[in-house]
Structure formats: C-alpha cells, structure tokens
Amino acid sequence: MKIIGFHWDHHSSVALLEGATITACVAEERFTRIKNESRFPRQAADFCERMAGGRGKIDAVAIATLDKLYDYYLLNVMQSFSIADFIQEQHLFWKPWFYEGRRDLRMRHLFPQYIDRTQYPQKYWSVLGQDEKREETFAADGDQLVADHFGLPVEKVRRYDHHTCHARYALHASNFHDGPVLVLTVDGFGDGANATIYLKDGDELERHYSTPDCTLGRYYRYITLMLGMRPLEHEYKVMGLAPYGRGKQIERVLNILHRTLQVEGTRFVPGPDKPRDSYFPFRDLFEGIRMDYIAAGLQLWVEQLLEQWVGNVAKHFDVSTVVMGGGVAMNVKAMGRLGQMPWMKRFFVAGSSSDESNSMGAALCCAAEQGVKLGKAVPSLYLGSPAEAEADILAKARTDGHVVVRNPSEDQIADALAAGIVIGRCVGRMEFGQRALGNRSILADPTSPEVVPRINAMIKSRDFWMPFAPVILDVFAEEYLLNPNGVDSPHMTIAYHTTDEGFRVLRAACHPADRTARAQILRREQNVSMYSLLEAFLRRTGRAGLLNTSFNLHGYPIVRDTADAYDVFNRTELDALLTADALVLKAACQYRPTSPDLASQGR
C-alpha cells in the first residue's frame, strides 16, 4: 500500500508511506524558496508521487487536521503578514472579537490587500462571490482539490485529527514499541485541543485526555509577538534569549504566568487570573519589564508546568516511557528538562514535531486504520531529494574563479575544517524538518568562539544572543553531555548541559549563557558519510564534534539541491562548498590544500 500524507497549512509538507515505512517527506518551502510556505504543497506532492512510481500508484491520500480557517488560506497570512500586520490583527480582529463580541468580523475584510486569488489551484481561488460559502465548505473543498491533484476519486482521500497525527508521528519515529508508552502532545491549537494524552499498549493507541485549556503554546506565541518577533516562527529566539535573563524580575513574570494556567492531576485548568485573550493582558502586565526577563520567566514557566504535568501523567498511568509531540515539543530546553526527570526510564522527542511533520502523522493514521502493523515507521529523516553530482555547476565554479577539488577524501575535508575553513555540505538525501542534520549543513570547528561571528557575518545574520548547535559521535555523548537517563537526540530535539570537556571542545556550538548544547547525537547507521567525516575530524584533532547549522541564507529555507547550494555559496562569504563529488573553495579563501592529491587538482 502506498499512502500520501498531506499537510496543507503553516509549513506545508507531503509524505509518502510505502508498506509500513515513511520513505519520503518534503516541505513545500524547499521548492518555492519561501520560508514556512503555507500554500498548497504542489511541488512537494509531485515529488512524493514520483517517488511512489508516478501517476496511478497512490492508493490513498491522508490529510492532516479536520478543521481549516478559510480566510487564513485566502490571505496567505503566514507569508503575507509582517510583524506590524500581526499586531494589527490583534487590534482589528481579536480585540473586538474577545472584548466586544464581534463575531461578524472577517480577516478578508480587514486585510483585503493580502487576498491572493492567483495561488494554486487558481481555478478554485479565482472564482468570486464564494467566500461566505467556502467558510463552511473549505475542508470538503480541500479534499476534492487534493483528489484532483493526484487524479484520484475523492473517496480515496481521508482526513485525520490534528493531535492524533502529532501522536502517530511522535510514536513511530521512536524506538519504543515494547511495553506501554505514553504519547503526549502539546501545541498552540488544532481541532479543538492543545494538549492530549495517548497510551500505546500492544498495537493500540488510545486517547485518554484532550483539552483546549492548555494555553502554554498560545501564550508563548503571542508573547513572542509582544516582544516584537514573528509568531509561529521566532519562538525559538525567545527560548534562546531566556538564559540571559537573571534577577528578581523573573519571579514577577513567573508569578503572573502561574496564575493564568495550572495543573491539577493529569489536567490543565485555567488559573484564577486567566486572561481573556493571549496578547493584550500580557502586554500590559509586562510593561516596563526587560525583554530578557520576560523571556526567562516565560521559559521557566513552560518548563515547570510541563514537568509537573508529565510527572503527574506518568504516575497516574504508572508508565515511565514517554514520547512528546506537537509544536511545544520543539522547545528543546523544556524537553531537556523532561528528559532528566529522575523517574524517566525512556524519553524521546521526534524531529520537527510541529505541524510540518503532520503529513507523516496523517499517513501513519491512515495505515493504522487499514490494519498495517506499524513499528519504527520513520527510521530516518533523510527523506528528501538527493544532491546529485552536477558537472555544469562545477564547470561554472571554475569559470567563476573558484578552486574545484574533485572527490576529496574525508581526511582531506577534516583537514580543511581543522584549519578553520567553514564548509557548506550538500550531500546525499535532503533531511526533513527545521534542523539540518549534516546533509544540508554548514560545518565548522567549534573550539573557537570567533567562528560564531564569522559565520554570522558570512551567511547566517543571526541575532547576537542565538547559539549554534553541534553534531557529535554517539560514542562521545557520555563524555561531552550531562545526560543521566541516556536520552537520545538524533534530530537535535534536546538541549543538554555540557561537561567541562564537552564545553571545551564544542564551545562555539553551545549556548554561552548556560553552556547547553542542542546536540545531534549521530550513530553510524543514520548517516554513514557524515559519521566518517566526524571520525576523520577526530583523528585529525582529537575532538569528536563539529558545529552544525542549517545551510541557508537568513530568512530563506534550507537549500534543496546542488544548484541552491552553489547559489548560496556564490552569494556569500562562505569559504567552501562540499558536493557529492567535489570540494569548491573560494578564490579569496586563504586556505589551500597541502595534500599532494588535493593540490594537484588546481583550478
């Protein structure tokens, strides 16, 4: 059986499940080059259909999420809106909605300048006079549009609950398939809920609790906006800022937040000071408090509340194996805290657990419904298109005056890294999700703090407080990371405190304020070529880790193929580009290979 999983929403994506295994998954942004692309994922769908063998090979399409807000699609809000527009939305839509009962308001009337009737499929969006009707029929319309795109009868299109998609993906990306497993999801909102409890026992995954009252993700989203950053995108910046906040003002923020939402047993319940909305009360309550204090208090509140809830749930069900899913599980600091709880026996957070992975979750829901026995159905996140050797790009590199070294060895690449060269690596199948896992990565020696401003000046342009992250060999995880429960993190989903030795060898890839590292712990079978490069770097330097950050220009998606990678390399000060069959060095780069094999290649 071949099932397409389809997520058409914030960060649209499409997945392919063949038999009992996810074999492909890509985000539409990688094709359109528009970050967090939320329109119909046409090119991602076409890629997965080709991977399945072409037209007529698909047995079913599974769409994630039951309910859809028509106006957000018509306006293409996530791409169209600026931060100022998101603030205007609070004033023009949500404030009258919550405080004046204005249920007649529509986003398309308030922001008509963003109506996009040219988006795909244009035959649907270009028809005028249908907006009121489509508010009611948009989900069903979407089923038909998806069916038409794949050339299938609409009866072969199924739709699945948002949180069940989160739970299925989280569970089947883990290694936990023996004994009972708690699968917990927390996010901003989806299909009437923002937190759920599932118990997997045997082959069954049963929901035991669902609530719309867990406002953790929603408050984090709108406090991010209150701090002048993009909601549903820059929450990670607030998390990165939090360790810098210290002092009594944090307690003030924490006390305010604790009175808005509380935990009673296994339930989230509104606190005595639950705000009417998620923006204006916090704007007023936090007035005059410095942004790093707000970030620190908010982050600590999330960690404390999750720790209490997860602990209570585990005690109630007498289960010490936990898997986390949903957008809040992207908070690596909170996940790191959960992973260190003394009672925790096994803990896992799947890569890119926010909505973009619901394409995989939907396909898995459909397979389970069909009686497919699912174990570790997501064995890898290297699920995208391969980076092929492209002779024309290497020829262009020579014409552009760069040094092209053909078929360099891992030892030679390690030598370049040890010499301080910053390399963009575009090799093998593209990884899925918001974290680069080696195949579409910028790599550097992490021992020198000076490499951080260098990379930012070259390409990344990150906020000054934001850290980079490391990739390390699994056999050095115990030496470098404080990880009492042995929690694995193959997809950079956990922030670990580092040992003294770990901080020494990974310093530029750690958070400077608290010495934590959002580490990718790499096993050989996960990525053989990347593992071999790390081994070569270990032989060369005695250190088993590299700085690993995503290969992209600031504000753009991660590169998809060799052409994208060369374009970024050519437009920036990046020292070198590693492709499937070559190392390309900038003519202006001071480093030149000392190995005779390398030097003989010349230009």
Q: How far is CA 557 from the centre of its chain?
A: 12
Match 């600590």 to its residue by tokens: 300
Run of H or E residues at 228 = none
Residue 339, beta-bridge partner list: none
For the CA atoms of the chain, what is the radius of gyration?
A: 24
Q: Are 429 and 509 in contact (CB under 8 A)?
A: no
Q: Are 347 and 487 in contact (CB under 8 A)?
A: yes
Model pLDDT, residue 594: 67
Q: Are 228 and 283 in contact (CB under 8 A)?
A: no
DSSP 409: -
Question: Rounded to whole angstroms, how far apart are CA atoms 171 and 324?
Answer: 8
> What percent of the chain is predicted at pLDDT more than 90?
95
Model pLDDT, residue 593: 77
- pLDDT, mean over the chain: 96
* Residue-by-residue DSSP string for 323-335: EEESGGGG-HHHH
Model pLDDT, residue 599: 39
Q: Are 374 and 16 in contact (CB under 8 A)?
A: no
Please determine, for residue 17, whether its predicted confidence score (pLDDT) is greater than 70.
yes
> 230-239: per-residue pLDDT in tens?
999 999 999 9
Run of H or E residues at 15 = strand 13-18
Question: Rounded to whole angstroms, how far apart are CA atoms 249 and 295?
Answer: 11
How far does the chain reach from its first CA to its final CA, in angstroms? 50
Percent helix, strand and coil across the chain, each to the nearest 5? 40, 20, 40
Please determine, for residue 602, whether its predicted confidence score (pLDDT) is greater than 50.
no
Model pLDDT, residue 595: 55
Q: What's the CA dihedral at 7, 376, 210, 435 to 10 degrees?
A: -50
Please determine, for residue 601, whether its predicted confidence score (pLDDT) is greater than 80.
no
Model pLDDT, residue 590: 83
> 452-471: per-residue pLDDT in tens?
999 999 998 889 999 999 99
> 484-530: per-residue pLDDT in tens?
999 999 999 999 999 999 999 999 999 999 999 999 999 999 999 99
Domains delineated in the chain: 2-76+116-162 (3.30.420.40), 175-349 (3.30.420.40), 386-599 (3.90.870.20)
Query: Both tokens of residue 252?
Result: 């003030």
> 85-94: per-residue pLDDT in tens?
999 999 999 9
Match 């410095």 to its residue by tokens: 290
The pLDDT-based confidence of 282 (bands split at 50, 70, 90) is: very high
